[in-house]
Structure 1
Amino acid sequence: MDFIIEAVVKAVKDLYQTDIAAKDVNLQETRKEFEGQVTLVTFPYTKVSRKGPEQTGAEIGEYLQNTLPQIAAFNVVKGFLNIVIADSYWLNALHTDILTDSFATAKPNGKKVMVEYSSPNTNKPLHLGHIRNNLLGFSLSEILSAAGYEVIKANLVNDRGIHICKSMVAWREFGQGETPQSSGLKGDHLAGKYYVWFDKAYKQQIQELVEEGQTEDEAKKNAPLIKEAQQMLQQWEAGDEAVINLWNTMNGWVYEGFDVTYKNLGVSFDKYYYESDTYLLGKDIVEEGLAKGVFFKKEDGSVWIDLTEDGLDQKLVLRGDGTSVYITQDLGTAQLKYDDFKMDESIYVVGNEQDYHFKVLFLILQKLGKSWAQGLYHLSYGMVDLPSGKMKSREGTVVDADDLMADMFGTAKETTEAMGKVADFSEADKNKLYRTIGMGALKYFLLKVDPKKRLLFDPKESIDFQGHTGPFIQYTHARIKSVLSRAGYVAESSTHDVTGLDSVERDLIVTLTKFPQTIQEAAANHSPALVANYVYELAKNYNKFYHEKPIMQAENENLKQFRLQVSAASAKVINKAMSLLGIDVPERM
């Protein structure tokens, strides 16, 4: 509404001989109980008008109505000037903006951003928490791209470290040469199986040592399996050929498994980074920090940074035996990513249990004098629970991503068939529809909630064709497509000369015009939830329009074509909004 802002600036100048900046004009959406679409808060102008807020609002409103043909009327409620925008403005927006191919497609803004998400460990398959991570990262990338950014979608694979060695040790000890082919398991599931085995066997060894008289802390350090894993990590970093070969073999199994999961989840990446390639760069940065006096070395040879003056604590950045810790490789990876792409912003999509880690990481990079450290951002998201409780991967009770997606397919099939609307679908079309609905339900449920909030995912609740769900929005799209198909609607040949709007028609068009701004706000706030909730409101508004305003039985052909145009615009925006969430919408349901 830039034209209103410009007119308000001019009104204050002409009425009260005072210059104000456009950025200081506060426009809000009019509350539903009042007439109008845009509201100006008038209190800031009473100082220059030297009148009460209501009289000031009336004077500005009258000025705007007299000078702007787009304004049909106004009303003042206390200190709020509610502006009624003319129907001609909304009809013009429908034809010259919303229905065009370029609607909600921002021009390049010249800024480059990297979104790092997924970041799996190669010792286990992806689980429900990873699903939220992947969906947030992919959707945010799509939203940023639509908002005009150049986006690089990155995946940092945690392919080294003590946790990886645990799976390797367990396979070497208990595997008897088992492979994905011989077991019938996906490679990531096979690696995860041995990670769980390690933990069970390790706990048994701890218990035995405690029974022999050691304290629990002593037993945790002295258990043969953990010593073997630590030795394997040292051998890996020393380049031991047998260890490296086993590492390559098992990681290869895992990557094949991940690829299947990513494809089914509908996410992709432009760039992969591997911690096995970056941890040495981190060691170089540790040496740089020692030389600059940012880090210090303890008697055992370990390297630390003291962040107590910054309200944090001392942080280990390199072990005494020379092996790296997580922050070592994260320092190296951050530098490598910037060297590769010189991006303006680097977003890390990581759960909120790592909030402290990223505070430390970003602060260290700032203390090292990295100019680009100011552009680092942690998209901290809450954990996902099921009604049964929190997941614990080491105990083998993880809610596996592949299993969950399969369950969503089954639930979508059961729910859709119960409605009895797929009798004329082929088996292939049915299966495609079930997958579309199941994945749409899962994705929408996880994305409609603000990323920072923890959420409880209920698979059955997510597949509800009448609720605040993905299937409700998908069904709305299919309904519109059915109407357009039955009408034989062709966009290029549809014309009308409607000049006035009913309130439900106006509300729908107003909602459609908000889509570009919603994309910008979602990008600025790193929140796909803003797009998710917008498209739900749009679907609700369309369904109200559909039920209150006959389309095929409209009073005349002119009105029918107009309502078909509004329907086509709604379907287009629903499709694009859902695509920004990584969700497909069916043509029929």
Structure 2
Amino acid sequence: MNLQETLSKQVKLALQASYNIFLETIEFQATRKEFVGDITVVIFPMLRFIKGNPVQIGNDIGNYLVKNVEVVSAYNVVKGFLNIEIQDAYYVQFFNKISTKENFGFVSPKSEEKSIMVEYSSPNTNKPLHLGHVRNNLLGYSVAEILKASGKKVYKTQIINDRGIHICKSMLAWKRFGHGETPESKGLKGDKLVGNYYVKFDQEYKREIEIIVKDGFTIDSAKAMAPIMLEAQNMLLKWEAGDEETVALWKTMNQWVYDGFAITYRNLGVDFDVLYYESNTYLLGKEFVAEGLKSGVFTKEDDGSIWCDLTEDGLDKKIVQRSDGTAVYMTQDIGTAIQRIKDFPDVGGMVYTVGNEQDYHFKVLFLILKKLGFDWAKNLFHLSYGMVDLPSGKMKSREGTVVDADDLIEEMAITAADISEELGKLEGYSDEEKQALYKTIGLGALKYYILKVDPKKRILFDPKESIDFQGNTGPFIQYTYARIQSIIRKADFDYNVILSPNEVSLHQKEKELIKQLQLFPEVIQNAAETHSPALIANYTYDLVKEFNSFYQNVSILGADELNEKIFRVQLSKKIALTIKKGFKLLGIHMPERM
């Protein structure tokens, strides 16, 4: 039972003893900085059940707690707030309990619990990953890690969109203009090479449209008549028919892209447990359309198309199969979800990391799966996120104006190098050590800047602002971690002795740090429940701010008493470990020196 649970139970007993009433819940909050106390009971909600003065009620509860709860040392009442002071011994005992726990805050998975599958990335194989994919990958990976830390077994997955007209556009442009070049002959990552031909297709398409419009046709007619588009559509038909030459080219160019993606994922620090490919899944779901027809979930129109009427659920009618018998994306997503449960029977829920432009799609998908009778459908979650904008404006893949993920990662390292050199913090580093540090700082800055924001919010990403060594940034937190490592290295005494509560007199700043540490397990659970890495990011920043206040106000290695030095080094070390673990959940590495 934690402190709040203990106090809640005792406050209820106090109310029974003094007023003969029982309350279901007691409201707590952190004591405001201007008042003395460690935790505050809010009296005002009790006035609905108790007639009386809130100050008197607070005093009655406070007196009861001092007499009956060993860890309560004193109290004060300010209007309708009962501020409770907790004995130092409680905090020292708590710290001793967690000081040697490497996995403090993390919960081991229970064998009987169902697993969760987290989907993220899911790119098209016609272009490199860009800034939008970066946010997607960072969110999905971090949520997966947080869910694991909260006690869940997790599978990380993606579905690679490796078929369709967009793939054929790159393939056709390469056939027309590529002259047989390869990533090796060009000295270019495969995804970038294929992406260049996607842009080339669009340029040629626009050129053909202009010529047709000059002959007197409308733009819409010209788009439909353009020879290069007609040829791309024909190529898609050939692929679907299994044409040997077309399929061979498709396999070759997709492999170039997969090889390129692998490098980007490695540089970004994300991974996957299982991959799905749209070319293998796009026909899935049709058998369930037939079952849905039998059960009355779906209805067939006069033209032969099949629909799901969701109007009674506040949505609209959704097509699940065209009149010619071909599947739509919804059908594929239904089939893929069901296939995943077949492949991994221990999965009891899924998280889909997809931009907010697909909010409606996932409402429909989840509802249809429920109507089809799948019990696990109630545990599906759309991790919806906002776009990432740049000061220069929106990105467009077809026009080649996207911010390439690899280029962004490299730019972040260069920016980190420029700022670090300006600050002059790297004396004694070899060039190799410097480059590794720049990458750690740059990537940490990028990840933190994106993950500290609530996923639903749109982000304006400014690379230089993200690498500020002051404020709510990754480098500021990394620098604090490195500062603590420096303190530990300078400690020339044995600081591994476990001190008893009567050997430690806590400074208020030490107490505030321990109170912040107490929140870590709860923050992990809340972040898992809400699928929000921002809670971890901002908790870590608050912990770092609290440590820096402690560092500026309390002497650590220069303390008068040895026991003070020992406890403060132990506390600093635990803070550093918690910062590191928090950042690990965000996929961010920590430098030992900066």
What's the TM-score once normalised by structure 2's chain length? 0.94
Q: Aligned Cα RMSD in Å?
A: 1.9
Larger deviation, residues 203-212 vs 377-386: 203-212
Distance change >3 Å, CA 54–CA 316, structure 1 → 2 = same
Q: Following TM superposition, by how much is the alpha carbon of 1:582 offset from its aligned partner in structure 2, in angstroms?
A: 0.5
State whether residues 45 and 56 of structure 1, in contact with CA within 8 Å, keep that contact through their aligned partners in structure 2. no
Q: Deviations 1:168-206 (Å, cap 9, x if unpaired)?
A: 222222222121111111111111111111222222223
Residue 555, structure 1, aligned to residue 560, structure 2: yes
Partner in structure 2 of residue 34 of structure 1: 35
Q: Aligned letter for 1:277?
A: N
State whether residues 494 and 565 of structure 1, in contact with CA within 8 Å, keep that contact through their aligned partners in structure 2. no
Q: Following TM superposition, by how much is the alpha carbon of 1:127 offset from its aligned partner in structure 2, in angstroms?
A: 0.4
CA distance in structure 2 between the partners assigned to 1:394 and 1:278 by the alignment:
26
Residue 252, structure 1, aligned to residue 255, structure 2: yes
Correspondences of 1:46-445 after superposition (within 5 Å): 46-109=47-110, 110-298=113-301, 301-342=304-345, 343-445=347-449
CA distance in structure 2 between the partners assigned to 1:47 and 1:289 by the alignment:
52
Distance change >3 Å, CA 488–CA 587, structure 1 → 2 = farther
CA distance in structure 2 between the partners assigned to 1:281 and 1:31 by the alignment:
57
Q: Deviations 1:351-402 (Å, cap 9, x if unpaired)?
A: 1111121122122222322222111110100111111111111111000000
Larger deviation, residues 287-296 vs 230-239: 287-296
Partner in structure 2 of residue 484 of structure 1: 488
CA distance in structure 2 between the partners assigned to 1:321 and 1:178 by the alignment:
39
Distance change >3 Å, CA 288–CA 170, structure 1 → 2 = farther
Equivalent of 2:459, from 455, 458, 462? 455
State whether residues 137 and 349 of structure 1, in contact with CA within 8 Å, keep that contact through their aligned partners in structure 2. yes
Distance change >3 Å, CA 244–CA 367, structure 1 → 2 = same
State whether residues 99 and 570 of structure 2, in contact with CA within 8 Å, keep that contact through their aligned partners in structure 1. no
Residue 528, structure 1, aligned to residue 533, structure 2: yes
Report SS of the residue matched to 2:555: coil
Residue 566, structure 1, aligned to residue 571, structure 2: yes
CA distance in structure 1 between the partners assigned to 2:384 and 2:44 by the alignment:
37
Distance change >3 Å, CA 76–CA 345, structure 1 → 2 = farther
Distance change >3 Å, CA 334–CA 300, structure 1 → 2 = same
Q: Deviations 1:468-492 (Å, cap 9, x if unpaired)?
A: 1000000001000001001146553
Larger deviation, residues 562-571 vs 54-63: 54-63
Distance change >3 Å, CA 183–CA 220, structure 1 → 2 = same
Q: Aligned letter for 1:182?
A: S
Report SS of the residue matched to 1:76: strand
Q: Following TM superposition, by how much is the alpha carbon of 1:456 offset from its aligned partner in structure 2, in angstroms?
A: 0.7
Report SS of the residue matched to 1:228: helix
Larger deviation, residues 184-193 vs 91-100: 91-100
Q: Following TM superposition, by how much is the alpha carbon of 1:298 offset from its aligned partner in structure 2, in angstroms?
A: 4.9
Which blocks of at least 5 consecutive residues in structure 1 are unaligned?
Answer: none
Q: Deviations 1:236-284 (Å, cap 9, x if unpaired)?
A: 2222222211111111111100000000000011111111111111232
Distance change >3 Å, CA 322–CA 189, structure 1 → 2 = farther
State whether residues 16 and 48 of structure 1, in contact with CA within 8 Å, keep that contact through their aligned partners in structure 2. no
Distance change >3 Å, CA 292–CA 194, structure 1 → 2 = farther
Q: Following TM superposition, by how much is the alpha carbon of 1:333 offset from its aligned partner in structure 2, in angstroms?
A: 1.0
Larger deviation, residues 319-328 vs 143-152: 319-328
State whether residues 111 and 150 of structure 1, in contact with CA within 8 Å, keep that contact through their aligned partners in structure 2. yes
Partner in structure 2 of residue 9 of structure 1: 12
Which blocks of at least 5 consecutive residues in structure 2 are unaligned?
Answer: none
CA distance in structure 2 between the partners assigned to 1:490 and 1:557 by the alignment:
10
Q: Following TM superposition, by how much is the alpha carbon of 1:42 offset from its aligned partner in structure 2, in angstroms?
A: 2.0
State whether residues 120 and 140 of structure 2, in contact with CA within 8 Å, keep that contact through their aligned partners in structure 1. yes
State whether residues 46 and 56 of structure 1, in contact with CA within 8 Å, keep that contact through their aligned partners in structure 2. no
Q: Aligned letter for 1:160?
A: R
Q: Deviations 1:125-167 (Å, cap 9, x if unpaired)?
A: 1001111111111111111111111111111111112222221
Larger deviation, residues 570-579 vs 554-563: 554-563
State whether residues 358 and 378 of structure 1, in contact with CA within 8 Å, keep that contact through their aligned partners in structure 2. yes
CA distance in structure 2 between the partners assigned to 1:396 and 1:475 by the alignment:
37
Larger deviation, residues 373-382 vs 316-325: 316-325
Q: Following TM superposition, by how much is the alpha carbon of 1:47 offset from its aligned partner in structure 2, in angstroms?
A: 4.4
Report SS of the residue matched to 2:434: helix
Q: Aligned letter for 2:259?
A: E
Report SS of the residue matched to 1:135: helix
Correspondences of 1:532-551 after superposition (within 5 Å): 532-551=537-556
Larger deviation, residues 410-419 vs 197-206: 197-206
CA distance in structure 2 between the partners assigned to 1:415 and 1:5 by the alignment:
50
Q: Aligned letter for 1:83?
A: I
Distance change >3 Å, CA 357–CA 75, structure 1 → 2 = same
Distance change >3 Å, CA 67–CA 524, structure 1 → 2 = same
Give the number of equivalent residue pairs: 587
CA distance in structure 2 between the partners assigned to 1:397 and 1:235 by the alignment:
31
Larger deviation, residues 39-48 vs 543-552: 39-48
Partner in structure 2 of residue 581 of structure 1: 586
Partner in structure 1 of residue 469 of structure 2: 465
Q: Following TM superposition, by how much is the alpha carbon of 1:439 offset from its aligned partner in structure 2, in angstroms?
A: 0.5
CA distance in structure 2 between the partners assigned to 1:413 and 1:54 by the alignment:
58
Report SS of the residue matched to 1:393: coil
Report SS of the residue matched to 1:395: coil
Larger deviation, residues 77-86 vs 570-579: 77-86
State whether residues 172 and 232 of structure 2, in contact with CA within 8 Å, keep that contact through their aligned partners in structure 1. yes
Q: Aligned letter for 1:206?
A: I
CA distance in structure 2 between the partners assigned to 1:230 and 1:293 by the alignment:
36
Report SS of the residue matched to 1:69: coil
CA distance in structure 2 between the partners assigned to 1:111 and 1:73 by the alignment:
46
Report SS of the residue matched to 2:283: helix
Q: Following TM superposition, by how much is the alpha carbon of 1:107 offset from its aligned partner in structure 2, in angstroms?
A: 3.6
Aligned-residue sequence identity (percent) comes to 56
Report SS of the residue matched to 1:316: strand
What's the TM-score once normalised by structure 1's chain length? 0.95
CA distance in structure 2 between the partners assigned to 1:565 and 1:476 by the alignment:
16
State whether residues 202 and 223 of structure 1, in contact with CA within 8 Å, keep that contact through their aligned partners in structure 2. yes
CA distance in structure 2 between the partners assigned to 1:82 and 1:267 by the alignment:
45
Q: Following TM superposition, by how much is the alpha carbon of 1:79 offset from its aligned partner in structure 2, in angstroms?
A: 2.3
Distance change >3 Å, CA 490–CA 135, structure 1 → 2 = farther
Larger deviation, residues 287-296 vs 356-365: 287-296
CA distance in structure 2 between the partners assigned to 1:14 and 1:237 by the alignment:
78
Larger deviation, residues 297-306 vs 50-59: 297-306
Larger deviation, residues 437-446 vs 550-559: 550-559
Partner in structure 2 of residue 505 of structure 1: 510
Q: Aligned letter for 1:112?
A: S
